[in-house]
Amino acid sequence: MSKYDQSVVLEALHNCLAHQDYGRFARVLVTEHEDRVVLENEGSFFEAAPADYVKEGGRTPRRYRNPFLAQAMAELNMIDTMGFGIYRMFARQARRYFPLPDFDLNTPDEVKVTLHGALIDPAYSSLLLEKTDLPLGDILALDRVQKSLAIDDPTIRHLRKVGLIEGRKPNLRVSEKGVHAPKDRVTYILTRGQDDEFYEKLTLDFIRQWGSASRKDVDNLLKEKLSDSLDDTQRTNKVSNLLTGMRRRSLIVNTGARTKRPDGNCKTKRTRRRVCNDRACCTDR
């Protein structure tokens, strides 16, 4: 399969030409990277937002920035004045099981469109291959999941109900359904990670073996076993939340030098952890 659909690339390029703000005296830029093509034109997205042209029912633009140019291009079948061009770009990418186009409007007076020429999450493509009747709205949401972009709670509930996603927010992932190839299964397991009980057991086994564990010990023990989808900051927060939960359930206790707070209660410097055999583990010693 070719990396790009010619009609998708031409649709994006022709849109750039038709909607360019020529008063800014700039060029339309097309940059090909190893796994994507980025097209940039000067001028803000002229009417509404890209999502309005993709959703069911679509949208027909009332105005064009360059009406005479747009009309001439429409007569040459280069663009669609009914507003279906963006919808077709997304639909054709979905039929090829590729990631959907990204519209970046973060820079004022500039539109940047990215067309992906490589897979991001094999589970996403396998799911589209298996479920060929998915509505475009669901595919749009799954595409955001594979790109680790936020989706609203009603959409999360819907996708979870029909078995298309799993995991906890914000670390959602495309469901294992549709993942068949052995390599894809390995990728899925590494991305998914393990349940908290697995990490808790490793931590408790370490403490029982060596009597105690510092935070550095726990980080070294768990960080490489956490999901590959987490970055370093997320892994640190994951370990912190895990230890806090274990402490609150009295599975471990923080030990070290103790001082008195102004209110007379004990205060622990959380330097090491040990298995808690004493429920009254916050009493002064």
Nearest CA to 224 out of 211, 210, 239 is that of 239
Q: Characterize the bridge pairing of strands 110-116 and 173-174.
A: unpaired
Residues 6+ apart with CB under 8 A from 129: 97, 178
Does the residue 146 lie in any domain?
Answer: yes
> How far apart, in whole angstroms, are the C-alpha atoms of residue 190 and residue 203?
20
* Domain co-membership, 83 together with 127: no
Are residues 237 and 250 located together in one domain of the fold? yes
pLDDT at 183: 52
Last residue of a domain, one of 68, 98, 118: 118
Total number of domains constituting the chain:
3
Closest CA to 238 of 210, 207, 198: 198
Q: Are residues 245 and 143 part of one domain? A: no
Q: Is residue 280 part of a domain?
A: no
In this predicted structure, what is the pLDDT of residue 236? 86
Q: Please tell me the predicted confidence (pLDDT) of residue 167.
A: 86
Half-sphere exposure of 279 (CA within 13 A, CB side): 0
Last residue of a domain, one of 192, 223, 251: 192
If asked whether residues 7 and 110 sit together in one domain, one would say: yes
Please say which residue of 118, 142, 167 terminates a domain.
118
Same domain, 159 and 79: no
The CATH number that applies at residue 242 is 1.10.10
Residue 269 inside a domain? The answer is yes
Are both 200 and 188 inside the same structural domain?
Answer: no
Q: Is residue 282 part of a domain?
A: no
For residue 131, tell me if it sits in a domain: yes
Structural domain span for residue 100: 1-118
* 77 and 131 co-located in one domain: no
Residue with tokens 């009597």: 211
Q: Within a domain: residue 283?
A: no
Length of the chain as a residue count: 285
Q: Which amino acid does the sequence have at 187? A: T
Sign of the C-alpha dihedral, residues 92, 134, 131, 173?
A: positive
Does the residue 27 lie in any domain? yes
State the alpha helices, DSSP H only, in the chain: 6-19, 50-54, 67-75, 85-95, 122-130, 136-146, 153-161, 182-192, 196-210, 215-222, 232-248
pLDDT at residue 171, as a whole number = 85
pTM: 0.62
2 and 87 belong to one structural domain? yes
**CA–CA dist 51, 103 (Å, integer):** 9
For residue 49, is it within any domain?
yes
Query: Do 129 and 113 reside in the same domain of the chain?
Result: no
Q: What is the pLDDT along the chain (285 residues), one digit of tens a residue?
A: 688 999 999 999 999 999 999 999 999 999 999 999 999 999 999 888 888 888 766 788 888 899 999 999 999 989 887 778 899 999 999 999 999 999 999 998 999 999 999 999 988 998 988 888 888 999 999 999 999 999 999 999 999 888 899 888 888 999 865 454 445 555 555 555 566 788 888 999 999 988 899 999 999 998 877 866 667 887 888 888 889 888 888 889 888 644 444 555 554 444 466 666 543 343 333
Which CATH number belongs to the domain containing residue 109 in this structure?
3.30.565.60
In a shared domain, residues 2 and 42: yes
On whether both 110 and 23 belong to a single domain, the answer is yes
Q: What is the pLDDT of residue 31?
A: 97
**CA–CA distance, 233 with 228 (Å, rounded to integer):** 12
CA distance 203 to 8: 51
- Going by the DSSP 8-state scheme, the letter that residue 77 receives in this structure is T
Q: Residue 207's closest CA among 243, 236, 235, 244?
A: 243
